[in-house]
Amino acid sequence: MFLGCHLSSTKGFLAMGRQALELGADTFQFFTRNPRGGSAKALDPRDLAALVAFMAEKGFGPVVAHAPYTLNPCAKEKKTLDFARLVLSEDLERLRGLPGALYNLHPGSHVGQGAQAGLELTADIVNEVLSPGETATVLLETMAGKGTEIGRSFGELARIIGKIRLDSKMGVCLDTCHVFDGGYDIKNDLEGVLAKFDQELGLSRLKAVHVNDSLNSLDSHKDRHAKIGQGQIGLEALARVVWHPRLAGLPFILETPNEPEGYAQEIALLRRQGPQS
Ligand code: FE
Ligand code: FE
Ligand code: ZN
């Protein structure tokens, strides 16, 4: 089990690795560019190489690069789709300097075109940008299903991945807040939810987990993250996820409403829980 949190990338790559280590983490997540904008900073290859060496030395697990929120691969307007295509291909190219990176993507919002059309548009764009030489694995995140979000069920994610030619480069990131809000009861029936995931997607598709408590109740389709133990899922259930034997080896990333000190506390808290009986 690798445990970490979302970090700000403004100070560069090696700085993120060092900060993660200070917080007690052995993985982390960062935005590839301004989450609400688009432009990416010029990338310093030496800084990236320094991070790669640092992570190897410290025994870090795979890191997660999160695509910006403004990227909607199943939008209606051409210019939004063009932006999605551009960002995806640029980000994937930049991630070639970070071997084994996981690139996490929200499958998008169909904005009234219907889920079926949305799934097809998203698969089309991924097919366009994904090339056989890609070193990153593209993860589709499980969504809470607010508004017209697609990827609100394991079945919808399976339908997208089923349309992707280079599907060996595809995986899923399970967000505990999102699946709970989406109606999967990981609080009372984690085994059942994992069995469902395995049945619809195959558990080997699961490459990363976002560990968040939820402010809202099961099936609320809201997507409001809470600190660990301060939401409707609770510490015990989240510790069961983090320490689940079938999920051993995955990176677990906190995206709770915290400053770095709060993340350090939550990382320590989850590590202390140990394997759950
Ligand atoms: Fe996300
Ligand atoms: Fe998430
Ligand atoms: Zn969320």
Range of the domain at 211: 2-272
Q: How far is the CA of 85 from the centre of ligand 1 (A)?
A: 18
Counting ligands in written order, which one lies closest to the CA of residue 71? 1
Q: What is the DSSP string of 101-150?
A: -EEEE---B-TTS-HHHHHHHHHHHHHHH--TT--SEEEEEP----TTBS
pLDDT of residue 35: 76
pLDDT tens for the chain, 277 residues long, are: 999 999 999 899 999 999 999 999 999 999 998 878 767 777 889 999 999 999 999 999 999 999 999 999 999 999 999 999 999 999 999 999 999 999 999 999 999 999 999 999 999 999 999 999 999 999 999 999 999 999 999 999 999 999 999 999 999 999 999 999 999 999 999 999 999 999 999 999 999 999 999 999 999 999 999 999 999 999 999 999 999 999 999 999 999 999 999 999 999 999 999 886 5
- Give residue 95's identity as a one-letter amino acid code: L
Q: How far is the CA of 70 from the centre of ligand 3 (A)?
A: 14
Cα separation, 277 vs 130, whole angstroms: 41
Q: How far is the CA of 222 from the centre of ligand 3 (A)?
A: 9
Q: How far is the CA of 105 from the centre of ligand 1 (A)?
A: 7
**Would you say 236 and 277 are in contact if contact means Cβ atoms under 8 Å apart?**
no
37 in a structural domain: yes
229 in a structural domain: yes
pLDDT of residue 277: 58
Q: How far is the CA of 259 from the centre of ligand 1 (A)?
A: 18
CA nearest neighbour of 104 among 178, 4, 32:
32
Cα separation, 93 vs 114, whole angstroms: 31
pTM above the 0.75 mark? yes
Q: How far is the CA of 21 from the centre of ligand 3 (A)?
A: 24
132 in a structural domain: yes
Contacts of 164 (CB under 8 A, 6+ apart): 123, 126, 127, 130, 170
**Would you say 118 and 150 are in contact if contact means Cβ atoms under 8 Å apart?**
yes
Q: How far is the CA of 203 from the centre of ligand 3 (A)?
A: 21
Q: How far is the CA of 217 from the centre of ligand 1 (A)?
A: 19
Cα separation, 238 vs 247, whole angstroms: 13
pLDDT of residue 37: 72
149 in a structural domain: yes
Number of domains in the chain: 1
Q: How far is the CA of 264 from the centre of ligand 2 (A)?
A: 18
277 in a structural domain: no
Q: How far is the CA of 144 from the centre of ligand 3 (A)?
A: 7
CATH number at residue 79: 3.20.20.150
pLDDT, tens digit, 9 for 90 and up, residues 212-268: 999 999 999 999 999 999 999 999 999 999 999 999 999 999 999 999 999 999 999
Q: How far is the CA of 104 from the centre of ligand 2 (A)?
A: 9
With residue 220 as reference, give the H or E element that holds it.
Answer: none
Q: How far is the CA of 223 from the centre of ligand 3 (A)?
A: 5
Q: How far is the CA of 113 from the centre of ligand 1 (A)?
A: 22
Residues near ligand 1 ion, CB 5 Å cutoff = 141
CA atoms in the 13 A half-sphere facing the CB of 90: 17
